[in-house]
Amino acid sequence: MAKGLLIVLSGPSGVGKGTLCTELRRRLPDLVYSVSATTRQPRMGEENGVNYFFKSREQFIEMIDNDQLLEHAEYVGNFYGTPRDFVEKTIESGRDIILEIEVQGALKVKEKFPEGVFVFLLPPSIDELKERIVGRGTENQATIDHRMSVAVDEISLMEHYDYAVVNDEIDCACKRIESIIIAEHCKVRK
């Protein structure tokens, strides 16, 4: 049986990673979504192993110490990370798995799993990205300015990826990523 692929999708905040990932999963029902581990408490309706793998702080630190995570970060007092075992078992079963993640986390994954397929999602323009972030209506001007500065820095890291896809229209961007997945499965591996 052929192995599956780890597809790592990342790009700046506001580029539409979540929307694109949701649409890809709708179009490709066999595509597995990488479930993250976290130390935060479950919210109403969240299920262990579906939304997150909920861990105690001690369990999470043990996962770090035993190199059981492809990447991890601490955010607002809680740990978040990508369990290596879940990703590897999915790939070994022949299924593709998609990891939607921020740029720094993607680069950490690439260090530990260089055979992954790394896709950088770009906005049609910086102005369009700013419009998307402003359009959310959830951030003040200082936060917007910070996000835009970080976005420019993140775009400069695109050279570390295998592919770049412009998220101009969700349908077109999905077709491009579907084409990448098909091409990767047809690749002659040595």
Q: pLDDT tens, 92-149?
A: 999 999 999 989 889 999 999 999 999 999 998 888 888 877 877 777 888 788 888 8
Question: Could you give all domains of the chain from N- to C-terminal order, each with its CATH number?
Answer: 6-186 (3.40.50.300)
**What separation in angstroms does the CA of 82 have from each of 36, 86, 87, 98?**
5, 8, 8, 11
Q: Which ranges in 10-77 belong to alpha helices (H)? A: 17-27, 57-65
pTM for the structure as a whole: 0.86
Q: What is the rounded average pLDDT of the residues 161-167?
A: 96
Read off φ and ψ for residue 13, nearest 5 degrees: -60, 135
- The confidence band for 190, taking pLDDT boundaries of 50, 70 and 90, is very low
